A and B are shown apart, each in its own frame.
Chain A
Amino acid sequence: MLKDAIILTKPRHHMVTRLWHWINALCLIVLLMSGLTIFNAHPRLYWGEYGANDDYAWMAVGSSQAMGYLRLGELRIETTGTLGNWQDSDGKTRTWAFPGWATIPSTYSLADGRRWHFFFAWIFSVGLALFMVASLWNRHIQRDLHMPREQWRPSNIWRSFRNHLDLRAIRQSAGEDYNSIQKLSYIGVTFILLPLMIFTGLAMSPGMDANWPFLTEILGGRQSARSLHFIAAFLLLLFFLVHIVMVLLSGPFRQTWSMISGGKKEGPAE
């Protein structure tokens, strides 16, 4: 009896998971926004080892004749007001790629953006490493993220996907064990995208390139690493947005509170 009661009141989210979740959330927001400041210094992306203004950029943000644009390959999209040509809070026209509301600091300073970025990169990287070790130790990975064979079945993944489009199913399943789409996204983010951010970041460092030349080589060159860093950052932003929407739809207060206090595991545990 007593043993059952203990199992039943076991928190849904382990202390380590909660702590890391919030530290990581702060780091990702600061890193994304300070990263956009750094991107603004040279808003062009290349593939390969080198790339500068005279080389072909697969992606570029720019401004010409009072018009902001985003160029993807040969496709040119007008982005006046958002990218490349926008008005700051004083109504002054600016031609930096990403607007002030998306960057840290909100005015362009590459030096300050770098300071923020590298300081929080340390917290983020050390935090991720500790979280991974602790989550193996406390069995969060084995217990909550492991996908049994049946969850890998396409039919299961498809059902899980459709449930994400169904408001009632979202509400009903809140607090249950993670479904296959949830597991896949958490695994993809934690074990692929987040480490990729660190390694593509390190590969851009000339000091690290001398130490670990294989890293830049694996990633296809320094400018490829820079492009991958940018793409992975936007995939993380996409995850962040879907994550927020799901929290809002499934009971925002209870979900947020359970990520602070730990919450309760529903139904008989294990």
Chain B
Amino acid sequence: MTIITRRKLITGAAIGAGSLLSGCDALNRNPAFQDILASAETANFTVQHALGDRMQLAREYDVADLSPKFRANGTRAPGDAEYAASAAQGFANWRLRLTGLFEKPQQFGLEAIGSLPQRTQITRHDCVEGWSAIGQWTGVPLKILLDLAQLKNSAQFLVFHCADRLGGRPYYESIDLLDGFHPQTILAHRLNGEPLPIENGAPLRLRVERQLGYKHAKYVTGIEAVASLAGIGEGKGGYWQDVANYEWYAGI
């Protein structure tokens, strides 16, 4: 008797596990349930900002801590002819355009960027996939560019437009002003003391150290200051946020 019931119990558990799995898939397809799951992003953002100084620096490392090879991921080379032509001449014609809610919208060539004060930092890059690499980045603090172009009071977000496309869509990312003015947020043009390699985002790559790798837009061509992310792409603030359910706040 007990053996039969036990067997039934195990069969029942197996059926239960199976329906749990298909139940999870059904829930996963349900937009209302997805919204409930996504509420954790707000909790993470709020609590992580409450737990530390908002200008808290990410940990910086020594040269001895560097990864032997800094892995490249995502786009390894924007495929279009314009980018290739620019790369062929050492990005001499590359322009970084500051547009949108600035008092003085303007553009910078790489030389102009190089003549501004620079910051060098050795930080750990954490990919959403799970791997990490430590690299040394040199670039201009974003704050300097924002101050030169004079951000308007109505600006809430900074959108980074990129030269690369994934699946036919232009890559873009966005951050809030807190991260925009953070001392470690830089537009990097050197990695480990060398000019930034193409696979890592040459000639300009955003570093926003307290967030995951997909926030660190590569091949940056423009910074657009906006009051809302609604009009950009599909309105979720970034390429991966638009095409999949990645979080806009990537602090975890």
Contact = CB atoms under 8 A, between A and B. Distances in A.
Contacts of A248: 6, 9-10
A39 B252 contact: no
Contacts, number: 150
Contact of B244 (A44, A106, A109): A109
B124 A50 contact: yes
Nearest to A107: B25
B252 A42 contact: no
Contacts of B71: 52-54
A122 B46 CA distance: 13
A122 B45 CA distance: 13
Contacts of B40: 115, 118-119, 121-122
B131 A44 contact: yes
Contacts of A204: 126, 252
Nearest to B22: A106
Given A41-B128, A50-B67, A248-B9, A119 B39 contact: yes
Interface stretch (B52-60, B105-113, B142-150, B194-202): B52-60
Interface in B1-51: 5-6, 9-10, 20-22, 24-25, 28, 34, 36-41, 43-44, 48, 51
Interface stretch (B78-86, B208-216, B217-225): B208-216
B251 A206 contact: yes
Counting chain A residues whose Cβ lies within 8 A of the other chain, the interface size class is 35 or more
B77 interface: no
A144 interface: no
A50 B70 CA distance: 10
B245 A211 contact: no
B210 A106 contact: no
B246 interface: yes
A207 B210 contact: yes
Contacts of A94: none
A98 to B, nearest CB: 13
Given A207-B211, A210-B59, A212-B52, A111 B6 contact: no
B34 A222 contact: no
Contact of A42 (B38, B58, B130): B130
Interface in A24-42: 29-30, 33, 38-39, 41-42
Contacts of B28: 104-105, 109, 112, 116
Interface string A131-144: 00000000000000
* Most A CB within 10 A of own CB, among B43, B130, B211, B246: B130
Nearest to A115: B37
A223 B124 CA distance: 11
A49 interface: yes
A226 interface: yes
Contacts of B120: none
Nearest to B39: A119
B117 interface: no
Given A109-B245, A119-B39, A210 B133 contact: no
Interface in A13-27: none
A112 B26 CA distance: 13
Interface in A201-255: 204-213, 216, 222-223, 226, 248, 252-253
Contacts of A122: 40, 43
A270 interface: no
Contact of A39 (B20, B130, B132): B130
Nearest to B247: A114
A211 B48 contact: yes
A157 interface: no
B34 A209 contact: no
Given A206-B58, A206-B252, 6 more contacts: A39-B130, A49-B132, A50-B124, A115-B37, A204-B252, A248-B6
Interface of A: 29-30, 33, 38-39, 41-42, 44, 49-55, 101, 104-107, 109-112, 114-116, 118-119, 121-122, 204-213, 216, 222-223, 226, 248, 252-253
20 contacts: A42-B130, A50-B67, A50-B132, A52-B69, A53-B71, A104-B21, A105-B28, A111-B245, A114-B246, A115-B38, A116-B24, A122-B40, A122-B43, A208-B48, A210-B58, A216-B59, A222-B132, A248-B6, A252-B5, A253-B5
